[in-house]
Amino acid sequence: VFNDDFRDAIKGSVFDIKNLGYVQNQSNRETVKKGIKGSIDLFTDSPLETINYVSCHDNHTLFDRLKLSMTDDDLKTIIKRDKLAQAIILTSQGIPFILSGEEFLRTKNGNDNSYNAGDEINKIDWTRKKVFYDVFKYYKDLIDMRKNHPAFRMETKNDILKNIKFYEELGIKLPDDKSIAYIIDGKGTGDSWNQITVLINPNTDSRIF
């Protein structure tokens, strides 16, 4: 299933540009947490039943969505929100999906229904890879980490229940009520890392975990 619950929780409903998600205004925290666990608390019997993504060929690209929904943001801030959205996707349980060109901030110039817009809008502008190479490298490093560590690719509901614990479950204090933090038991998943701690700060300033 293409997981639109997770998608909209991260960056807002595709049907309303004013509806913001976790990476824009820190909302939908509980739904994001459920997405991180492969949506086993929502609709799946296994993380292999969910395709996790933040944009595809329909609706706005991730970059366009962030730019249009956060009009006061400068480019640097938009890039940070973009990286955060993809970091959540690529460290979550389930099958990750990325729109071609998203790894260097693909844009369709704000067009959210480009089926008949032609090549000028739908083409992949490869010059953006040079301009936004740091974003490309960030995506690549996330993908490499995921490939190299089975802890991010569990296959059963039981594995997730056994090996992922959020800070709240462990009695560890969070810096605020918007951030998300969890620990994966790498040993339990056969990973080369014994323990993995994932810290997610959606705020525009730093936090100490």
pLDDT digits (tens, 9 = 90+) for 131-140: 999 999 999 9
Q: Encode 11-42: b = buried (16+ Cβ within 10 Å), e = exposed.
A: bbebeeeebbbbbbebbbbebbbbbbbbbbee
Average pLDDT in the 24-51 region? 98
Length of the chain, in residues = 209
Residue identified by tokens 């083409």 is 123
For residue 146, the model assigns a pLDDT of 98
d(CA 84, CA 90): 10
Indicate the pLDDT class of residue 5, thresholds 50, 70 and 90: very high
For residue 199, the model assigns a pLDDT of 98
